[in-house]
Structure 1
Amino acid sequence: MLSAFLYFDLSFMVWYLLGPMQVQIAEALALDTRQRALMVAVPILCGALLRLLLGLVADRIGARRTGLLAQGVVIAALFVAWYSGVHSYAQVLLLGAMLGVAGASFAIALPLASRWYPPEHQGTAMGIAGAGNSGTVLAALFAPALAAAFGYRNVFGLACLPLLVVLAVFALYAKDAPVAVPQRRLRDYGRVLVGNRDSWWFMFFYAITFGGFAGFASALPGYFHDQFGFEPKLAGWATAACVLAGSLMRPFGGAIADRIGGTRTLLAVYALAALLVALAALGLGAAATVGLFVLTLLCLGAGNGAVFQLVPQRFGSDIGLMTGLIGMAGGVGGFLLAAGMGVLKQEYGSYAPGLWGFAAFAGLAWLSVAGLRQHWRQQWTAVGAARV
């Protein structure tokens, strides 16, 4: 569990690295709002798509070996970016694509932890391992300040140091659970998608909870800078407060779902998230808006834990497949949110349309859970002691 958490934590730190430094990088490369948004959204999208690939590789060579290979690729990409520099928009997009490998750690860390625990503790176990997304807090806190002091190029080199430490810890202590892991193929993903509406629903729900978390985490530094004139360091600190709330709440969300049921938890999450983001769209003062986003990401973090409390109950034999698909959907949701906010800001001169759009999708997710809840309770006959 500790190895999975540390691996996930540092992977998320570098996956998110461009977000907190987006203002400084955009100024150095003369990027407009749309280009800046795409720059921070590309790692999210690539991480989402690569999760399926890493999931397939992990089935064949084990999650531990896959994690070591993926971490090596990320360290190499950061080293090249530090040694050679990033001098153009195309180069920073390429770096973002390589950092997507770190985002794909989701498909390694969560199954690595989950396979050691029984169904009634899946929410807590997945929540603790998944709290590794707190690595985004480290990037938001330190990356802008380090970039101001040493230049953003040197931040890429400095990030390699903790990654090397965690790589050593992971190599020494990570272990695959002594359970049989079926060999997945691409057609297996099609099998769990075709004719299975629940798989699509879970992908949609996670696209809102994790997509909202990742998308806002990447977009907020630029939002706070544009909306309230925050300097990069202050924008990073404000974002760190938001991300910390969401990261800390993820394991609690899983534990709460274990106690009261995942669907009940998600109903509260989506209702509150829709309300809070709608209030933020009204254009309140800086302090009030930061507070609203802290509460929003706290709710979304709880929702991340609640979704994965339900997944092992519904897809016990296909948890590896669904972890990859649901994680991919979450990343796609984050990409659309982060990129969409930038595009709409450049098109309409305001972030409000993007925020209203997210609030509407959160409301739709609430209606969907409310409609599915009773059906799931009646149909899931093998949940044991776990709650739906």
Structure 2
Amino acid sequence: MKVAELLHEGFNWIGGGADIDFRPKRKKSDFWSSGHTPTLIAAFLYFDLAFMVWVLLGPLAPQIAADLGLSPAQKGLMVATPTLAGAMLRLVIGLLADRIGPKRTGVIGQLIVIAGLFAGWSFGVHSFAGTLALGTILGFAGASFAVALPLASRWYPPVHQGKAMGIAGMGNSGTVLAALFAPALAITFGWNAVLGLACIPLTLVLVVFIVLAKDAPDQPAPRPLSAYLEPLRTADAWWFMLFYGVTFGGFSGLASSLTIYFSDAFALSPVTAGRCTAACVFAGSLVRPLGGALADRIGGVATLTGVYAVAALGLLGVSTSPADLGAALGLFVVAMLALGTGNGAVFQLVPQRFGKEIGILTGVVGMAGGVGGFYLASSLGFARQVTGGFGPGFLIFALLTLVALAGLTFVKGRWRIRWAAAAGVRI
């Protein structure tokens, strides 16, 4: 049978020259058999527990601040430090994942986090400087983003990238675990003991990760360091950094800061403030895979357009400092739903444009998300100290969301013509 006839009968042509391998085409709906499910599960669990400890200082902030006598600005900087450290380390971890593989990189990063938490529990954290040092170590947990997403992405074809990246990325729901359980455990055992307790689930999940995870067979060969930075010469990489800096920056910044916000603005106990935070974070985490699936269906650009409009409205509403707890909680849930959807949509687009450089792009774009989260968390603390309220911090971030919307409107036509059409994907 001729090549054209084989292709017509439903086969893919893999390879070229004398090395030709015809394989049956997969149906678009055949998601679970199109990749490696154990690796997808391992990526999710790894990401979930890593994110749990990445934002751990946020739910513990009221108790830590009371114990160490921290100012509002210091509280904001304390919870923002892991976000910034994670942002910077994502670039390093992304490079390492491309060179030695996501699985080995993930094991190394998780061991560093476990060792840091164990040391913090064993020796104690007795000063503001100590919280910053611990936050820097927790940045390795935030850098897990550059491990989990490439690990899952490389197993799945373009038509299923949104769903695969969304499921793996739903590991940011670990922030819900931190918000729900950390304040109560801190009241029962003391906040320092929570650092040691966190090592237990981290270790268990690390074992599961080692057993289940497997690097994809098409792992790119190691390249010179300069080759990894090549995508940064393209404007598209910087646009993705802006878009994710707003969506994930908003999500992670709020996840780190809302316990402080609810405690200060409404005089809630740490446990109640943690529950309110968990509700908001759960909403944003739950919709991340839905955002990826929606982007697969209607396009990432169309999804992000709605995301930025809704998120801006929610944040603008919160910036007015609503006096009613229910109103504030509702506005945060709306904003987090939009931002969580946007997280999935951005990473439906990234592999379409930068499939061969997904490791480094995950690190770079994730870094921008961490920088956005650092800005939001630290600016809220600064606004609280200078103006007595959080409103100005929320207002500025709402305006940044509108800037991202304007940028998306500017580039979408060029994207659809230059690379989306060539790749045969809908954006």
Q: TM-score range by the shorter chain?
A: over 0.9
| Alpha-carbon distance in structure 1 between the residues aligned to 2:219 and 2:170 | 26
| Alpha-carbon distance in structure 2 between the residues aligned to 1:60 and 1:188 | 12
Q: How does 1:198-217 map to 2 (within 5 A)?
A: 198-217=236-255
Tell me whether 1:97 sits opposite 2:128 in the alignment.
Answer: no
Alignment partner for residue 266 of structure 1, among 285, 304, 307? Answer: 304
- Which residue is equivalent to 2:96? 57
- Which residue is equivalent to 1:244? 282
Report the number of matched residues.
386
Tell me whether 1:383 sits opposite 2:423 in the alignment.
Answer: yes
- Which residue is equivalent to 2:263? 225
Task: Select the structure of larger CA radius of gyration.
Answer: 2
- Which residue is equivalent to 1:353? 392
The one-letter amino acid paired with 1:127 is G
Q: How does 1:1-388 map to 2 (within 5 A)?
A: 1-194=40-233, 196-284=234-322, 285-380=324-419, 381-384=421-424, 386-388=425-427
- Unaligned stretches of 5+ residues in structure 1: none
- Which residue is equivalent to 2:13? none
- Unaligned stretches of 5+ residues in structure 2: 1-39
Q: Larger deviation: 279-288 or 104-113? A: 279-288
The one-letter amino acid paired with 1:277 is L
CA contact (8 A) 1:56 1:184 kept: no
| Alpha-carbon distance in structure 2 between the residues aligned to 1:142 and 1:79 | 18
Question: How many Å apart are 1:257 and its aligned residue?
Answer: 0.4
The one-letter amino acid paired with 1:167 is L
Question: How many Å apart are 1:183 and its aligned residue?
Answer: 2.3
What fraction of aligned residue pairs are identical, expressed as a percent? Answer: 58
Residues 53-101 of structure 1, C-alpha deviations (whole Å, 9 max, x = no match): 1122222322111111111111111111111111111111101100100
Q: Secondary structure at the match of 1:21?
A: helix
The one-letter amino acid paired with 1:382 is A
Q: Larger deviation: 60-69 or 98-107? A: 60-69
Could you say if the C-alpha distance between residues 214 and 202 of structure 1 is closer, same or farther in structure 2, counting changes exceeding 3 Å?
Answer: same
Question: How many Å apart are 1:367 and its aligned residue?
Answer: 1.2
| Alpha-carbon distance in structure 1 between the residues aligned to 2:353 and 2:217 | 22
| Alpha-carbon distance in structure 1 between the residues aligned to 2:368 and 2:229 | 15
CA contact (8 A) 1:184 1:321 kept: no
| Alpha-carbon distance in structure 2 between the residues aligned to 1:56 and 1:376 | 26
Question: How many Å apart are 1:347 and its aligned residue?
Answer: 1.2
The one-letter amino acid paired with 2:303 is T
Q: Larger deviation: 5-14 or 78-87? A: 78-87
Question: How many Å apart are 1:115 and its aligned residue?
Answer: 0.2
| Alpha-carbon distance in structure 2 between the residues aligned to 1:370 and 1:23 | 41
Question: How many Å apart are 1:148 and its aligned residue?
Answer: 0.8
CA contact (8 A) 2:97 2:359 kept: no
Could you say if the C-alpha distance between residues 57 and 295 of structure 1 is closer, same or farther in structure 2, counting changes exceeding 3 Å?
Answer: same
Question: How many Å apart are 1:237 and its aligned residue?
Answer: 0.5
CA contact (8 A) 2:105 2:147 kept: yes
The one-letter amino acid paired with 2:238 is W
The one-letter amino acid paired with 1:208 is V
CA contact (8 A) 2:78 2:132 kept: yes
| Alpha-carbon distance in structure 1 between the residues aligned to 2:171 and 2:139 | 16
| Alpha-carbon distance in structure 2 between the residues aligned to 1:9 and 1:76 | 18
